[in-house]
C-alpha cells in the first residue's frame, strides 16, 4: 500500500507498507523533508511496524513521538503528517496526479445559478460522469451568500441589502456569510472525488485542498497559511474563507469552495451583513473592517492577473485542461434555481 500527504506549509511524506494479520508490516517512510539525526527515520519506521491497522491518526502520531530520539529536529515534517500518510495508504487514497483536471471559467452568472452549478457539478464528479473540476466563478451582481445552517435574519440586514441591490442566497455548505461584488471577489470551487481526501479528517481535508492556492499566493509574493478551520490568512489579515459539502452517491465527492477578497467596500459590507461582537471576538479584532485584507493591496495586480496566475499555478502542479458546463448540466442547474436556490423557502429555511 502506498500513501502520500503534503504537510500543510511543509513537505511531502510518502509511506509504503503492507498489512499482515491486522498489523502494519514492512513500513517505509520517505519524502523531501529534513530530519535530524539520520537514525530518526529508522525510529519512525520501527514505531509504526506492528501497529494495529485500525490505529487512528492520533494513536500513530503518539507511537512516533514516543520513539523519536530526544535530539530529533523535524523540518517540513510532523509526526501527525506521517500518521496521515499512513491512514491514506490504508484507505487507498488517490493523489492529485491520478486525475485529469478540468477548468471551468465562464461568463458572469447569477448568484443562485452559481449555487446550483456547485451542486450539479459535484454530483457529476461523484457519479463519475465528470472529471475533477476547478471552477472559477464570475459574478453578474453583488450578493451575500449565507451558510447552510445560518439564520437569515441574524446574518443579513434586509434594508441594507435592498438599498445596495444585493441578492441573498443560501449555499449547500456550512460556514459563515460572505459579501461579494463583481470585480471585487475571487471565488472558486473544487469538485473532487471522495478518494482524493480518503484518510484525512474533515479538518485536514481543508488544509489539503487549500495547499495549492497557498503556493499560488506565495508565487505572487504573499506569505499565506491555512488557519483552522476554514480561513486563509496572511500577516496583513484574513484574505479568504472556505466551506465544504460532502456528496453521497456513486463514488462520493467533496465540494470545496473558497471566496477570496480581491477588494472590498467595507462600509457597504457592514450595511449589509450583521457582524456581531461574538464573531469578532474570536478573530482578535474590534473592527469588522480589519477582518479581511484585500488581495489588490497585497499583490498590486489586477484581479484578472491574480486569477490567471492562480490557474497557471494549479496547471503547473496538477495539470489542467479547459472545459465547460455541458448543456445537460446547465439545464439541471437552471431547474435547481427554479425549485431550490432561487426560492424563499430555501433561502429562509433557517429564518
pLDDT at 284 over 60: no
The mean predicted confidence, pLDDT, of the chain is 94
**pLDDT tens digit string along 33-79?**
999 999 999 999 999 999 999 999 999 999 999 999 999 999 999 99
pLDDT at 288 over 60: no
- Taking residues 21-30, report their average pLDDT: 98
In angstroms, the CA 323 to CA 91 distance is 30
pLDDT of 293: 80
Confidence of residue 9 (pLDDT cuts 50, 70, 90): confident
Confidence of residue 278 (pLDDT cuts 50, 70, 90): very low
Burial of 351 from C-beta contacts in 10 A (0-12 / 13-18 / 19+): exposed
- Taking residues 171-199, report their average pLDDT: 96
- pTM for this one? 0.91
pLDDT of 290: 54
Give me the helix-helix angle, 327-336 and 111-127, nearest 10°: 120
**pLDDT tens digit string along 297-312?**
999 999 999 999 999 9
- Taking residues 311-339, report their average pLDDT: 98
pLDDT of 8: 85
pLDDT of 289: 55
- Taking residues 16-21, report their average pLDDT: 98
In the chain, DSSP finds a helix count (H) and a strand count (E) of 13, 16
- Taking residues 123-127, report their average pLDDT: 97
Give me the helix-helix angle, 202-219 and 303-318, nearest 10°: 120
pLDDT of 234: 93
Contact 315, 282 (CB under 8 A): no
Choose among 189, 240, 188: nearest CA to 214.
240
pLDDT of 291: 61
Q: What percent of the chain stands above pLDDT 70?
A: 95
- 289 - beta bridge partners? none
Q: What percent of the chain stands above pLDDT 90?
A: 89
pLDDT of 285: 43
Amino acid at each position: 500500500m502506498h500513501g502520500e500527504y503534503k504537510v500543510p506549509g511543509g513537505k511531502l511524506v510518502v509511506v509504503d507498507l503492507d498489512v499482515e494479520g491486522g498489523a502494519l508490516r514492512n513500513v517505509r517512510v520517505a519524502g523531501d523533508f529534513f530530519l535530524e539525526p539520520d537514525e530518526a527515520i529508522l525510529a519512525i519506521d520501527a514505531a509504526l511496524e506492528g501497529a494495529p491497522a485500525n490505529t487512528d491518526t492520533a494513536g500513530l502520531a503518539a507511537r512516533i513521538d514516543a520513539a523519536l530520539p530526544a535530539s530529533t529536529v523535524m523540518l517540513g515534517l510532523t509526526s501527525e503528517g506521517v500518521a496521515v500518510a499512513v491512514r491514506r495508504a490504508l484507505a487507498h487514497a488517490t493523489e492529485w496526479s491520478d486525475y485529469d483536471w478540468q477548468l471551468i471559467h465562464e461568463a458572469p452568472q447569477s448568484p443562485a445559478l452559481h449555487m446550483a452549478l456547485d451542486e450539479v457539478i459535484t454530483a457529476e464528479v461523484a457519479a463519475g460522469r465528470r472529471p475533477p473540476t476547478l471552477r472559477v466563478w464570475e459574478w453578474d451582481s453583488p450578493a451575500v451568500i449565507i451558510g447552510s445552517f445560518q439564520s437569515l435574519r441574524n446574518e443579513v440586514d434586509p434594508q441594507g441589502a435592498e438599498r445596495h441591490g444585493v441578492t441573498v442566497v443560501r449555499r449547500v455548505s456550512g460556514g459563515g456569510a460572505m459579501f461579494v461584488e463583481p470585480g471585487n471577489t475571487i471565488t472558486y470551487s473544487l469538485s473532487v472525488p471522495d478518494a482524493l481526501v480518503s484518510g484525512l479528517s474533515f479538518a485536514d481535508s481543508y488544509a489539503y485542498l487549500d495547499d495549492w492556492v497557498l503556493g499560488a499566493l506565495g508565487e505572487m509574493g504573499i506569505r499565506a497559511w491555512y488557519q483552522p478551520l476554514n480561513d486563509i490568512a496572511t500577516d496583513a489579515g484574513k484574505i479568504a474563507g472556505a466551506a465544504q459539502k460532502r456528496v453521497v452517491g456513486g463514488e462520493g465527492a467533496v465540494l470545496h469552495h473558497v471566496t477570496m477578497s480581491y477588494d472590498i467596500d467595507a462600509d457597504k459590507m457592514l450595511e449589509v451583513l450583521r457582524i456581531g461582537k461574538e464573531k469578532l471576538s474570536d478573530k482578535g479584532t474590534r473592527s469588522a473592517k480589519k477582518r479581511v485584507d484585500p488581495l489588490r493591496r497585497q499583490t498590486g495586480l489586477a484581479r484578472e492577473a491574480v486569477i490567471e496566475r492562480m490557474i497557471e499555478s494549479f496547471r503547473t502542479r496538477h495539470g489542467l485542461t479547459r472545459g465547460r458546463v455541458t448543456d445537460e448540466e446547465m439545464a439541471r442547474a437552471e431547474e435547481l434555481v427554479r425549485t431550490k436556490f432561487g426560492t424563499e423557502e430555501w433561502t429562509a429555511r433557517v429564518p
